[in-house]
Amino acid sequence: MYLSVKEVKPLDGYKLLLTFENGEERIFDMKPYLEKGIFKELKDKSLFNSVKISYDSIVWENEADMDPEMLYEDSVPYGIIKQ
């Protein structure tokens, strides 16, 4: 399912609270990605917290970005896992 990301909020533990165009809030865990390529830089908390919306997805100041379809498919509904 392809849904645009409309809001993003960084959380503790390298998690992201994402709001999709259908209004659904989901939690995405970035920890598994922090050992790969450009995402290694996101271990720096200030850089991780720089996440913002770009077009239909998210991007960081170091230009790392994520596919919105993957963000949706690999995240869990917000009510299941709390911060």
- pTM of the predicted model as reported, rounded to 2 decimal places: 0.91
Distance separating alpha carbons of residues 65 and 54, to the nearest angstrom: 9
Tokens encoding 63: 């230009």
Domains held by the chain: number: 1
Q: What is the predicted pLDDT for the residue at 79? A: 79
Q: Which two tokens stand for residue 29?
A: 């865990």
Q: Can you tell me whether residue 15 is helix, strand or coil?
A: strand
Range of the domain at 27: 5-77
Q: How far apart are CA 5 and CA 61, in angstroms?
A: 17
Q: What does the pLDDT read at residue 83? A: 45
Q: Are 30 and 45 in contact (CB under 8 A)?
A: no
- For 34-82, how does the pLDDT look when each residue is reduced to its tens digit (9 = 90+)? 999 999 999 999 999 999 999 999 999 999 999 999 999 999 999 765 4
CATH code, domain with 23: 3.30.2020.10
Q: Tell whether 82 is covered by a domain.
A: no
